[in-house]
Amino acid sequence: MNTFRAVAHRGYPVRYPENTLSSFEAALQLNYAYLELDVQLSKDGVPVVIHDYTVDRVTDGTGAVKDFTLQELKRLKVHGKEEIPTLREALELAKGRAIVSVELKQAGDLYPGLEEKTLRVIEELGMREHVYLLSFDHYSITRVRELDWHIPAGITISAASPFLFEAIKAWNLQYFAAPTRYITPAFVQRAEEAGVQLIVWPADTLAEMEKLRAYPSLLATTNELEKWQHYCAEHGMNQATMISG
């Protein structure tokens, strides 16, 4: 029986406010071994967990994340219920329970020091072996490598390209994230030959799940946590569960 690994995207956003402690806890209660979250910096330089560059969509406030201090961000309510968590709070919740995918929401020089401050939190919590860092901003990942050559890291792309495997090797990267629509047998084989963990998103519809079933080496990113589990059960697929220690 193949073991399939799925990443809980922003926790369990279909049922709980995304990127919140309750959303992450729900994913952990469903035995997901991988969690994904997004990191930005508050005005006073604290790594916080939120996806958008503004607080408008998910909170009762308006404005750019970078213009709020941590104290001000904590006063906002996510969908009327919860606080925006710090990276430290989210990692403390997941420590010893899951591997955490930390997406750096860097955009040029929008957040000076984001990489260094994120690495510091990870180091202080002793979680180097239970995280990996990703970003669409590839310069952000090169900064990670300048600061730390060995921490697990990778790049995220919006389109497939064979040339990026050369950069992955040069930067000592272990992860490569791409949209599900670009996954082909040749792409998966190339990643396997390069020793790179290929991550895909989304895996939310039955059609997407059916496509990915042919590639057990993938990490499949899903918002539909229980639907994914039911699909695995119906098709004789074993879902990877919590880590230990």
Catalytic residue among 9, 79, 138, 235: 9
Active-site annotation holder among 51, 130, 230, 235: 51
Cα 200 to Cα 216: distance, rounded to the nearest angstrom: 12
Whether 79 is catalytic? no
Beta strands at 3-9 and 219-222: parallel, antiparallel or unpaired = parallel
Q: How far apart are CA 217 and CA 183, in angstroms?
A: 12
Active site members: 9, 51
